[in-house]
Amino acid sequence: MADEPLVLGIETSCDETGVGIVRGTTLLADAVASSVDEHARFGGVVPEVASRAHLEAMVPTIERALKDAGITARDLDGIAVTAGPGLAGALLVGVTAAKAYAYALGKPLYGVNHLASHICVDQLEHGALPEPTMALLVSGGHSSLLLSTDITSDVRPLGATIDDAAGEAFDKIARVLNLGFPGGPVIDRYAREGDPAAIAFPRGLTGPRDAPYDFSFSGLKTSVARWIEAKRAAGEDVPVRDVSASFQEAVVDVLTRKAVRACKDEGVDHLMIGGGVAANSRLRALAQERCEAAGIRLRVPRPKLCTDNGAMVAALGAEMVARDRPASAWDLSADSSLPVTEPHVPGHHHHDHVHEVSKENLYS
């Protein structure tokens, strides 16, 4: 449909400068510049390095996305940007760029939530999200079960990790195994050649008295690290493939078990899995198996759309336009700890708050 909103989305919450362009639920461009190699030697993302890299990549990545989509910026119906959560300095680069482009072009600006974007991106792969949708969101910074009846306005957390995020656990175990950063993709690869039942690692928070939808990966992480240390102390080789497979199995077993249970308890027949860890091949396979057995339809975007990208931001922005959500005010600010319950970030609209707002902007 030609009248579907044409939206450009900017994502800079972590180490990927993502610029995506969508028309409604159709993906037109997905340009990503990553600074991951610059962080690799530090074993994790360095915020100042990420901010500087966003600044350098921003304009070229926007231009590449426009070229890939075969449009000019003037054709756009709106510009969406991740307003949080994420690294404050990194977010600020994206928010500032989005404001500058939107203001100069006279287009509406939409500040959106990174986590809701990870869910909404599946519209580009599988069409409109069913309502309600159960979402298992698993990334480097988050692991939660979310129930949404409208991705632009209603996202309800059922449970979340009480310590490490799932992706963080992958990254930390990869570091212990000296496999580099980020850890998820490389553990995924080694695990394919290993035995997932070789070592019985603990499944956190799965006892009868434990919170049914919360996660904990810190005990698992410690247990895996101790197991590896014991092998090394005994002068034995560490079986990297079996450790990877057994660790990975412990993570995805808990994730899928709890997600399926949440769907059953809430009477929801669709499960969406999003975030970087949703790129994991074993998570995708086990989720498919368990959803099928429970009569739940599974939706997982292709791996490239699971990790951070601009298309997901554009997808949520287009949904904001389609649902007539108000544009964000020009004083929209980045919020590094934006709650998952706020998919849309309006900024401050009221003129009687103007003094308060300008003071806040001065210091934030």
Q: 76 vs 22, 23, 142, 325, CA distance in Å?
A: 10, 9, 31, 17
CA quadruple 261, 264, 265, 266: dihedral, nearest 10:
120
Q: Closest approach of Cβ 99 to ligand KG4, in Å?
A: 22
> How far is 120 from 110, CA to CA, in rounded Å?
15
- Residue 303 sits at φ, ψ, to 5 deg, of -50, -40
User: Among 69-77, 219-227, 254-262, 270-278, which window interacts with ligand KG4 (CB under 6 A)?
Assistant: 270-278
**Which of 183, 204, 301, 317 contacts ligand KG4 by CB under 6 A?**
183
- The candidate with the shortest Cα–Cα distance to 13, out of 92, 66, 111, 107, is 92
The neighbour count for residue 362, using CB atoms within 10 Å, is: 7
For residue 313, what are its two tokens? Answer: 């931001």
**Which of 139, 244, 248, 309 contacts Zn ion by CB under 5 A?**
139
Q: Rule CB under 6 A: is residue 139 a binding residue for ligand KG4?
A: yes
For residue 76, what are its two tokens? Answer: 């756009």
Q: Select 139 or 144, whichever has its Cβ closest to Zn ion.
A: 139
Q: Rule CB under 6 A: is residue 253 a binding residue for ligand KG4?
A: no
User: Among 75-83, 184-192, 193-201, 285-293, which window interacts with ligand KG4 (CB under 6 A)?
Assistant: 184-192
Q: Is 44 annotated as a binding residue?
A: no
- The candidate with the shortest Cα–Cα distance to 118, out of 355, 340, 268, 289, is 340
> How far is 146 from 149, CA to CA, in rounded Å?
10
**Which of 24, 94, 108, 184 contacts ligand KG4 by CB under 6 A?**
184
> How far is 301 from 246, CA to CA, in rounded Å?
25
Q: Select 308 or 319, whichever has its Cβ closest to Zn ion.
A: 308
- The candidate with the shortest Cα–Cα distance to 133, out of 151, 115, 148, 118, is 148
Q: Rule CB under 5 A: is residue 308 a binding residue for Zn ion?
A: yes
Q: Select 286 or 327, whichever has its Cβ closest to ligand KG4.
A: 286
Q: Select 133 or 280, whichever has its Cβ closest to ligand KG4.
A: 280
User: Among 69-77, 139-147, 285-293, 354-362, which window interacts with Zn ion (CB under 5 A)?
Assistant: 139-147
Q: Select 43 or 130, whichever has its Cβ closest to ligand KG4.
A: 43
Q: Rule CB under 6 A: is residue 276 a binding residue for ligand KG4?
A: yes
Query: How many residues form the binding site for ligand KG4 (CB under 6 A)?
Result: 19
Per DSSP, the residues of 313-348 read: HHHHHHHHHHTTPPPPPTT----TT--TT-SEE---
Q: Closest approach of Cβ 286 to ligand KG4, in Å?
A: 12
Q: Which of ligand KG4, Zn ion, none does residue 85 bind (CB under 5 to 8 Å by kind)?
A: none
Show the binding pattern over residues 262-301: x = contacts Zn ion (CB under 5 A), - = does not: ----------------------------------------
Per DSSP, the residues of 209-234 read: TS-TT-B--HHHHHHHHHHHHHHHHT
Q: Rule CB under 6 A: is residue 277 a binding residue for ligand KG4?
A: yes
Q: Select 102 or 115, whichever has its Cβ closest to Zn ion.
A: 115
Chain centroid, CA 101 distance in Å: 24
The neighbour count for residue 326, using CB atoms within 10 Å, is: 12
Q: Select 71 or 225, whichever has its Cβ closest to ligand KG4.
A: 225
Residues that bind ligand KG4 (CB under 6 A): 14, 139-141, 167, 170-171, 182-185, 188, 275-277, 279-280, 307-308
Known binding-site residue numbers = 114, 118, 137-141, 171, 184, 188, 280, 308
Where does this chain bind Zn ion (CB under 5 A)?
139, 308
Please report, in range form, the residues annotated as the binding site for Fe cation. 114, 118, 308
